[in-house]
């Protein structure tokens, strides 16, 4: 490669990084200008945020990840038997890909291609080293839909895709947006392709609340890190100790909401967003929603997004549903 080509490709990467910072700054400006201040939950996942989420999955109070993994372990052969004979696997938000191991093993074959998509390069590096004995791992550090486009471009003749969307990440979308997202996903697939999607079910409010407000404080750290990230990446001066983590059960919307509550009247400045923002005591920034599902609504979602239901497995200890849908 010539020096010039190298120089220009480096500039490209820098441009991309700049564009991401500008997008983040603009989203922060918009979100903090709303009457109910809000920040998009995707920004919780920088490298530190992804590590803190990984720690959350080990908390005794947070049953989602273990329920998901139990279902995939117990029913791996059953699920694999319902898949097309020639299949490549794509996973949206794989993290380290630990839950996926069982199913990849059950699918088997000698050249099984696995495309984990995640925003965390560290998580994907671990994913690749952990799973490379079971599958040919092609990590994609990208957004879900960009990653989907990259992976599906490599479809081979006569091959189908299994897309995995585990852990109830679908619950982060407002219900209307979830449906739109599933339709977009459907649009990037072909008949015969399948979707394995995990959904956390409505359960007793106390059980849901403590899962998002653990006494160890890990979820609080995960939430507060969003302000830390704004300080680091956008030159903010948030005093993290002057905010506290809060989890709420919104009964009407059937979702857990995470907020950051201001402990006092205060002002923060965010240099890259050229923004000064004031908080009253008790005022909150809404940082995440985790919608919880009723069994009856899941099949309707499949139907409305253009899928047919091929299988469903439910965990008894932590009500959670694994759903296998096929593209119609
Ligand atoms: C990874 C989006 C499924 O909503 O339960 C965990 C993220 N937030 N604790 C969830 C999360 C607070 C998690 N998802």
Question: Best of 91, 288, 319, 322 to mutate for ligand 1, by most ligand atoms within 8 A of CB?
Answer: 288
Q: Is the CB of residue 212 below 6 angstroms from any atom belonging to ligand 1?
A: yes
Q: Is the CB of residue 44 below 6 angstroms from any atom belonging to ligand 1?
A: no
* Exposed / middle / buried, residue 264 (Cβ in 10 Å: 0-12, 13-18, 19+): exposed
C-alpha 3 – ligand 1 centre gap (Å) = 44
C-alpha 65 – ligand 1 centre gap (Å) = 9
Q: Is the CB of residue 160 below 6 angstroms from any atom belonging to ligand 1?
A: no
pLDDT at 5 over 90: no
Q: Is the CB of residue 139 below 6 angstroms from any atom belonging to ligand 1?
A: no
Ligand 1 atom with minimal separation from the 211 CA: 9
Which residues, 6+ apart, have CB-to-CB distance to 179 below 8 Å? 301, 304, 305
| Dist CA 156 CA 165 (whole Å) | 22
Give the model's pLDDT for residue 139.
98
Ligand 1 atom with minimal separation from the 168 CA: 3
| Dist CA 22 CA 172 (whole Å) | 23
pTM of the model: 0.93
Q: What is the pLDDT of residues 146-173, one digit of tens each?
A: 999 999 999 999 999 999 999 999 999 9
High-pLDDT (> 90) share of the chain, %:
92
| Dist CA 136 CA 157 (whole Å) | 18
Measured distance between the N- and C-terminal CA atoms of the chain, rounded to whole angstroms: 46
For residue 240, the SS3 value is: helix
Cβ-contact 28, 282 below 8 angstroms: no
Tokens 């273990």 found at: 66
pLDDT at 1 over 50: no
Q: Is the CB of residue 56 below 6 angstroms from any atom belonging to ligand 1?
A: yes
Q: Is the CB of residue 168 below 6 angstroms from any atom belonging to ligand 1?
A: yes
């Amino acid at each position: 490669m010539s020096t010039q080509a190298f120089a220009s490709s480096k500039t490209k990467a820098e441009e991309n990084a700049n564009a991401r910072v500008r997008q983040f700054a603009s989203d922060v400006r918009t979100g903090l200008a709303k009457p109910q201040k809000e920040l998009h939950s995707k920004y919780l996942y920088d490298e530190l945020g992804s590590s803190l989420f990984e720690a959350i999955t080990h908390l005794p109070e947070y049953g989602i990840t273990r329920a998901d993994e139990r279902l995939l372990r117990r029913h791996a052969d059953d699920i694999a038997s319902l898949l097309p004979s020639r299949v490549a696997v794509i996973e949206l938000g794989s993290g380290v890909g630990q839950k996926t191991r069982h199913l990849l093993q059950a699918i088997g074959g000698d050249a099984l291609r696995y495309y984990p998509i995640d925003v965390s390069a560290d998580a994907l590096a671990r994913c690749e080293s952990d799973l490379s004995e079971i599958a040919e791992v092609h990590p994609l550090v990208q957004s879900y839909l960009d990653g989907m486009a990259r992976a599906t471009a490599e479809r081979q003749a006569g091959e189908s895709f299994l897309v995995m969307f585990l852990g109830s990440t679908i619950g982060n979308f407002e219900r209307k947006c979830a449906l739109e997202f599933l339709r977009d996903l459907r649009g990037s697939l072909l008949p015969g392709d399948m979707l394995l999607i995990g959904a956390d079910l409505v359960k007793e409010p106390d059980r849901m609340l403590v899962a998002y407000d653990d006494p160890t404080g890990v979820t609080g750290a995960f939430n507060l890190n969003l302000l830390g990230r704004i300080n680091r990446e956008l030159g903010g001066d948030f005093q993290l100790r002057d905010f506290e983590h809060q989890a709420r059960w919104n009964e009407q919307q059937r979702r857990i909401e995470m907020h950051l509550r201001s402990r006092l009247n205060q002002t923060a400045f965010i240099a890259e967003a050229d923004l000064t923002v004031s908080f009253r005591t008790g005022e909150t920034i809404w940082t995440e929603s985790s919608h919880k599902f009723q069994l009856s609504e899941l099949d309707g979602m499949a139907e409305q997004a253009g899928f047919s239901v091929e299988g469903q497995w439910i965990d008894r200890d932590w009500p959670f549903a694994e759903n296998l849908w096929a593209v119609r």
